[in-house]
Amino acid sequence: MRKRNALTAFTLALTTAATGTGFAAGPKGPAPAQRDGLERFKEQKVVWGACQDEELAASGTECARVTVPLDYRAPGGRTLQIAISRVKADDNGKARRGILLTNPGGPGGPGLSMPATLRKQLGAEVAAAYDLIGMDARGVGESGPLDCGLTRASWIRSSGSDRAGFDASVRLARQDARKCGEKYPDTLAHYSTRNTARDVDIVRAALGERRTSWFGQSYGTTLGSTYAQMFPERVDRLVLDSAPDPAKYGMGMIQDMGPANEKALDDFAAWAAARHAQYGLGATPAAVRATVEGLARRALGEPIKVGPYRLDGHDLPFLLLDLGTDSQDNTRYAEVVRSLLDAADGKPGTPHPYLLDMVKELSGPGTAGRSAGLSAQVAILCADAAMPRDPDWYWRAVERSRAEQPVFGPVVNGPLPCAFWKERPRERLTEIDNKVPALQLQATGDTRTTYEEGLAMHRAMRGSVLVTVPTRAHGVVRSRTGTCAHQAVADYLVRGALPARDMTCRPAA
């Protein structure tokens, strides 16, 4: 499968209502029962063949293209080619139930490799029951990738400790918005989640299926719940892994990451304090936190030399966000902080491999692949959610956050390119409010889509049953092999058996 470095994987892991035959005017209103101009798309023939990516092809995955309208209000106009993938069901006889469409998150995460990965994670019963279908959403990967020519590695950066650092963040956000607007002046508004959900339904129809099941993680739950709201009669079985609050999608979702990541830092500090003899980060949790905060301040004053590269205090919190995602990575977290401390003190030694890789990506000029991934992510988010346009709104938010969120407040409250996007979203975000049955998985210590946000999705998806995993992780299925959550997913997808009530699954030891 296509490999992605740690930076790209993290950046793409950030978080309306027509029915199956129409384009509705309002977020929840049904479409009229009439021909909608989409027949030629729904009835197209899908031709499967070898995938372009050699590793993907070697995994047993097939690939194809499906044509969709750029603008669903004008289905006779321009079109897009959507790349899809398939790992066929192991048993095409009585055990086969249908198709399971998937999305890995993002927004903007390439999805063609997900079927092969998910097949291993969910086990033989699911592999026998479903053709697993992957999809690069419009503007992503092999589906007409957007590339604004962005030169920075991520919009996730700290605004720093003063107004000068904040103003630099504003300039970068404006620059990203300007570049995308200049390159795609007439099409950016069409790369929304609502349009991707419409694409999903074209894929379902073109594959000759009356209904589809769905597995989405992170942003994939936003897309899945949107599809369920728009096309409820087309949903078979729905699994939502690590969901945000659908009403906070956009700036509110990002701001919620601040307290969650500060809590993750505290959790790590307690773990590292018990291992002070090994890592030397501090003998108490407070001392470890002071070590990390002090390191961030030092990097703002003087960038830390890491091999041939330099890491400043605006980018360093990006590493901490990534390192704190999963409690299973505490050892790496401690090793990287120790490596950074030694580098800041000028001690000789080889930087930690993860650290060197991340700093290399953050320091180097933007590559086409990295620019395309970031461009797609920003384009989807900005087509979905309007954000405040006044820079002072963000400055005030950053200043308010400093006392309680000294490390991550200046990161998650700073300006995004959406603040300066040329065109506002053409449609309102989908209001999620339905009784479509679903299985939802959520970790209590999730730093990307917090547990409280997951509870809000659970309330909005009134037919859902919640499986809680008391741990720090994002993506229960991919990071918590061995929990009873995996069995709950298999029982639901294969036998249609939702748990009788909300339940808790302890993580594997």
**Tens-digit pLDDT profile for the chain (509 aa)?**
444 444 544 554 553 333 232 333 333 333 343 467 999 999 999 999 999 999 999 999 999 999 999 999 999 999 999 999 999 998 766 788 999 999 999 999 999 999 999 999 999 999 999 999 999 999 999 999 999 999 888 888 999 999 999 999 999 999 999 999 999 999 999 999 999 999 999 999 999 999 999 999 999 999 999 999 999 999 999 999 999 999 999 999 999 999 999 999 999 999 999 999 999 999 999 999 999 999 999 999 999 999 999 999 999 999 999 999 999 999 999 999 999 999 999 999 999 999 999 999 888 655 556 788 899 999 999 999 999 999 999 999 999 999 999 999 999 999 999 999 999 999 999 999 999 999 999 999 999 999 999 999 999 999 999 999 999 999 999 887 677 999 999 999 999 999 999 999 987 66
Q: CA 81, CA 64: separation in Å to the nearest integer?
A: 10
Tokens encoding 168:
């630099």
Residue 420 lies in a domain: no
Please give the Cα distance from 65 to 142 (Å, whole number).
Answer: 9
* Per-residue pLDDT, 337: 98
Yes or no: say if 447 and 479 are a contact pair by the CB < 8 Å rule. no
Output the DSSP codes for 402-448: TTT-TTTHHHHTSPPGGGG-SS--SSPPP---B---EEEEEETT-SS
Q: 92: domain range?
A: 6-146+192-251+429-504
211 within domain boundaries: yes
For tokens 């998650």, name the residue: 412
For position 151, what pLDDT does the model report?
A: 86
Rg (CA), the chain: 22
Q: Is residue 54 part of a domain?
A: yes
pTM flag (> 0.85): yes
Q: Do 262 and 404 touch, CB atoms closer than 8 A?
A: yes
- What is the spatial distance between Cα 96 and Cα 131, in angstroms, rounded to a whole number? 8
* 185: three-class secondary structure by DSSP: coil
CATH code, domain carrying 132: 3.40.50.1820
What is the rounded CA–CA span in Å between residue 67 and residue 82? 6
Task: Please check whether residue 370 lies inside any domain of the structure.
Answer: no
Question: Is residue 134, in this structure, part of any structural domain at all?
Answer: yes
* Burial classification of residue 80, based on how many CB atoms lie within 10 Å of its CB (0-12 exposed, 13-18 middle, 19 or more buried): buried
pLDDT for 156 equals: 86
Q: Distance between CA 80 and CA 379 in Å, rounded?
A: 16
Residue 362 inside a domain? The answer is no
Q: Which residue has the tokens 């291992």?
A: 275
**Contact of 49 with 64, CB cutoff 8 Å:** yes
Q: Using alpha carbons, select from 451, 452, 455, 461 the residue that is nearest to residue 431.
A: 461
Per-residue pLDDT at 261: 98
15 inside domain: yes
Residue 335 structure tokens: 């090793």
**pLDDT the model gives residue 366:** 58
- H or E segment at 319? helix 316-323
The answer to whether residues 107 and 193 touch, using CB atoms and an 8 Å cutoff, is yes
Q: Does residue 457 contact residue 225 with C-beta atoms inside 8 Å?
A: yes
Q: Check: CB of residue 226 under 8 Å from CB of residue 432.
A: yes
Whether residue 53 is contained in a domain is answered as yes
Check whether the bond before 107 is cis (ω within 30° of 0): yes
pLDDT of amino acid 14 = 52
Query: How many folded domains does the chain comprise?
Result: 1
The torsion angle over the Cα atoms of residues 488, 229, 105 and 398, rounded to 10 degrees, is -120
Round to whole Å and give the CA distance between 435 and 31: 19
Residue 165: predicted pLDDT: 96
